[in-house]
């Protein structure tokens, strides 16, 4: 039963990364590449009808985490309190940047909310990459100091950074050189993903330029991915042990590199949606490969005193997990119906939607 809810949770998070990921990427493109009003409107039109529905997947994943793995929920929301509050404020400013921008037709007003939308999108991509880095690296469960656990085994708290900026320090921080590396990968990959969504959903004058941007960023991305795989050995002595013991798990890295190498052909694709398909494959494969590499851990322990938080030792009672399946089936049906209608109504190019205009 724990495995079922783990798969549900990972599936929801993967869907969130793909769907809200293109929103973040579009915001980054808006910040750095949209120079005129027509291009800015094309970008907001491309994501306008979708962004708020996409964010619901994060809320749903939080609900499943609370229901199925309450100990992990309690541990994470206390330990990652500072970055979670930062992410909350960034989500707020990103949303109001989209919604308030068109309320008043004033140059200064529009510039302020354009920057709020773009900067918040950039920092969200960075922080979600850093968050993934924290999960891969692990945390100091029990707040061990000098070989002694000073708190309960599942409790921890992290400052934003530590003085050494090292992922191997006894007292870890949210941001160190390893988690920052994954944060940069998050920014680059979501920028590519957002650019591909804009190409797919608009006829913007930016599209030709964005294809060149995707190609160049993909070169940087593959270099960053290779570096991250090499330095992973510093964090985890046997990073590929799950793949060696369970060979079918290699399907996830294969999906990752299929998406990564497919993006090099973005300039020659006949169909605008192909680039988005390959960037989605990269994000899906990258996320699932990371989850598979640390399984059954949900949050590894960086010390040898307290055990990692796994799907077994943080799960709710089996009775509650089994009862929840009935409601889950109903929820899935409603979500499928909603998304089918949404993407049916807003299929095709979105240049003339007029999102946010008043």
- Alpha-carbon distances, residue 165 vs 132, 162, 174, 176 (angstroms): 17, 5, 9, 5
Query: Which residues sit opposite 149 in a β-bridge?
Result: 144
pLDDT for the residue 356: 63
Q: How many helices (H) and strands (E) does the chain have?
A: 12, 4
Q: List b or e across 318-335, with b for residues whose CB sees 16 or more CB atoms inside 10 angstroms.
A: eeebeebeeebeeeeeeb
Q: Return the biggest CA–CA distance within the chain.
A: 62
pLDDT for the residue 358: 54
pLDDT for the residue 353: 74
Q: Report pLDDT digits (tens) over 82-124.
A: 999 999 999 999 999 888 887 888 889 989 999 999 999 999 9
What is the C-alpha separation between 126 and 122, in angstroms, rounded? 6
What is the C-alpha separation between 203 and 347, in angstroms, rounded? 14
Residues 6+ apart with CB under 8 A from 224: 181, 184, 185, 188
- Alpha-carbon distances, residue 205 vs 170, 200, 298 (angstroms): 51, 13, 44
Q: Report pLDDT digits (tens) over 260-288.
A: 999 999 888 888 899 999 999 999 999 99
Q: Report pLDDT digits (tens) over 281-308.
A: 999 999 999 999 999 999 999 888 999 9
What is the C-alpha separation between 111 and 101, in angstroms, rounded? 8
Which of 183, 186, 190 lies closest to 130 in space, CA to CA?
183
Per-residue pLDDT in tens (0 to 9) along the chain, 358 residues: 889 999 999 999 999 999 999 999 999 999 999 888 888 988 998 998 888 889 999 999 999 999 999 999 999 999 999 999 999 999 999 999 888 887 888 889 989 999 999 999 999 999 999 999 999 999 999 999 888 888 888 999 999 998 889 998 888 999 999 999 999 999 999 999 999 999 999 988 899 999 999 999 999 999 999 999 999 888 888 888 999 999 999 999 999 999 999 999 988 888 889 999 999 999 999 999 999 999 999 999 988 899 999 999 999 888 888 888 888 888 889 988 988 898 888 888 877 777 666 5
What is the C-alpha separation between 114 and 129, in angstroms, rounded? 23
- Alpha-carbon distances, residue 192 vs 22, 79, 177, 220, 320 (angstroms): 8, 31, 23, 11, 41
pLDDT for the residue 162: 87
Which two three-digit tokens encode residue 311?
A: 């799907």
- Alpha-carbon distances, residue 89 vs 83, 86, 183 (angstroms): 10, 5, 18
What is the C-alpha separation between 245 and 217, in angstroms, rounded? 34
Q: Is 70 within 8 Å of 87 (Cβ atoms)?
A: no
Query: Which residues sit opposite 310 in a β-bridge?
Result: 297
């Amino acid at each position: 039963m724990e495995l079922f809810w783990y798969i549900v949770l990972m599936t929801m998070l993967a869907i969130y990364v793909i769907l809200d990921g293109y929103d973040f990427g579009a915001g980054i493109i808006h910040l750095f590449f949209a120079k005129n009003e027509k291009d800015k409107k094309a970008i907001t039109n491309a994501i306008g009808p979708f962004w708020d529905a996409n964010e619901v997947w994060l809320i749903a994943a939080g609900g499943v985490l609370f229901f199925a793995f309450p100990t992990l929920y309690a541990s994470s929301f206390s330990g990652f309190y500072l970055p979670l509050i930062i992410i909350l404020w960034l989500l707020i400013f990103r949303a109001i940047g989209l919604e308030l921008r068109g309320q008043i037709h004033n140059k200064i007003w529009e510039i302020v909310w354009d920057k709020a939308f773009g900067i918040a999108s950039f920092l969200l991509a960075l922080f979600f990459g850093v968050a993934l880095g924290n999960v891969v690296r692990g945390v100091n469960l029990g707040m061990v100091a000098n070989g002694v656990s000073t708190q309960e085994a599942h409790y921890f708290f992290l400052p934003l950074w530590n003085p050494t900026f090292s992922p191997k320090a006894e007292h870890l921080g949210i941001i160190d050189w390893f988690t920052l590396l994954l944060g940069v990968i998050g920014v680059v990959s979501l920028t590519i993903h957002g650019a591909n969504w804009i190409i797919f959903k608009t006829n913007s004058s930016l599209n030709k330029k964005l294809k060149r941007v995707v190609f160049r960023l993909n070169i940087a991305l593959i270099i960053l991915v290779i570096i991250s795989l090499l330095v992973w050995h510093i964090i985890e002595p046997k990073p590929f042990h799950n793949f060696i013991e369970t060979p079918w798990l290699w399907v996830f890295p294969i999906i990752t590199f299929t998406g990564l190498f497919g993006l090099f052909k973005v300039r020659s694709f006949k169909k605008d949606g192909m680039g988005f398909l390959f960037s989605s494959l990269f994000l899906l494969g990258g996320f699932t490969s990371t989850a598979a590499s640390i399984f059954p851990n949900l949050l590894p322990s960086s010390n040898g005193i307290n055990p990692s938080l796994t799907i077994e030792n943080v799960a709710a009672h089996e009775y509650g997990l089994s009862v929840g399946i009935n409601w889950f089936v109903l929820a899935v049906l409603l979500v499928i119906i909603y998304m089918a209608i949404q993407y049916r109504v807003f299929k095709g190019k979105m240049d003339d939607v007029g999102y946010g205009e008043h």
